[in-house]
């Protein structure tokens, strides 16, 4: 039985929130001045605690407990280029901790929505938006099953780490871009990042970012920012 069948959706938000608080510490995010997130020190203890709490084997990786390299790079791009989101309606897809959504809100986006498929992300986003005094609406939903929403900007950070997601997200982002939405992605060279030229990804910047988890194989990775065409 999978974690989704048995677990996270059945746990009330207050329990998920308490879990996030118990297994993380509110701290500064290196390279993203002015933003604080509830982050864990190591993946394994949180992961095991989730499996215990949910009573399942094979809970999803607690992505929400870390600021991933793609998100750190995209956050930096937005801090340096607030005009990308200032005065605009923004969706952060696969938000995890909410880092990119929070930076968009701080940069002046009029409305910021965040989505993720992991119900624990809802708790992390709630705590992290409160810590940063910004407003972000959140939904636990697989928006890739739906047409892209009518927003001005879609942000997607660190989504090319697994094949099935990689296969679905590029066409979805390209559909949004074709409809006139500005689509920005951050990626640190994940395994399933497509060839940028073939995929219509226009490179805007590269940033060295310090990995925040031992799941990365290098301490410093190069985060690339692309606009989707």
What is the spatial distance between Cα 41 and Cα 37, in angstroms, rounded to a whole number? 12
| Residues in 189-228 at the binding interface with ligand SAM, rule: CB under 6 A | none
Decide if residue 116 touches ligand SAM (CB under 6 A): yes
User: For residues 121 and 123, which CB has a smaller minimum distance to ligand SAM in the complex?
Assistant: 121
Among 19, 47, 160, 161, binds ligand SAM (CB under 6 A): 161
**Cα dist. 21→17, 52, 65, 79 in Å?**
6, 16, 10, 27
**Residue 68 makes contact with ligand SAM by CB under 6 A:** yes
Q: How many residues bind ligand SAM (CB under 6 A)?
A: 25
Distance of CA 145 to the CA centre of its chain: 18
Sheet of strand 111-116: strand arrangement: 137-140, 111-116, 89-93, 153-157, 182-187, 220-228, 201-210
Nearer residue to ligand SAM within complex by CB, 76 or 88:
76
List, in sequence order, every beta strand (DSSP E) within 65-175: 89-93, 111-116, 137-140, 153-157
Q: Which stretch binds ligand SAM (CB under 6 A): 16-24, 115-123, 174-182, 203-211?
A: 115-123
Could you tell me which of 209, 216, 219, 220 has the C-alpha nearest to residue 74? 209
The window from 3-11, 32-40, 50-58, 89-97 that contacts ligand SAM (CB under 6 A) reads 89-97
Residues that bind ligand SAM (CB under 6 A): 63-64, 67-68, 70-71, 93-97, 99-100, 115-118, 121, 142, 144, 157-159, 161, 165
């Amino acid at each position: 039985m999978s974690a989704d069948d048995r677990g996270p959706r059945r746990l009330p938000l207050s329990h998920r929130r308490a879990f996030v608080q118990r297994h993380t510490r509110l701290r500064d995010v290196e390279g993203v001045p002015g933003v604080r997130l509830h982050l864990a020190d190591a993946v394994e203890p949180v992961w095991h605690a989730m499996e215990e709490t949910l009573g399942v084997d094979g809970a999803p990786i607690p992505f929400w407990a870390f600021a991933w390299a793609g998100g750190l790079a995209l956050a930096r791009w937005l801090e340096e280029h607030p005009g990308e989101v200032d005065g605009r309606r923004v969706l952060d897809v696969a938000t995890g901790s909410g880092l990119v959504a929070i930076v968009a809100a701080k940069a002046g986006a009029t409305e910021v929505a965040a989505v993720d498929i992991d119900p624990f992300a809802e708790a992390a986003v709630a705590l992290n938006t409160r810590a940063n005094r910004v407003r972000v609406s959140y939904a636990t939903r697989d928006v890739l099953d739906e047409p892209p929403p009518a927003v001005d900007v879609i942000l997607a950070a660190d989504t090319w780490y697994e094949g099935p997601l990689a296969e679905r997200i590029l066409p979805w982002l390209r559909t949004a871009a074709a409809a006139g939405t500005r689509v920005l992605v951050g990626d640190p060279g994940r395994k399933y990042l497509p060839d940028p030229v073939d995929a219509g990804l226009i490179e805007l910047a590269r940033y060295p970012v310090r990995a925040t988890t031992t799941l990365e194989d290098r301490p410093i990775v190069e985060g690339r920012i692309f606009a989707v065409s």
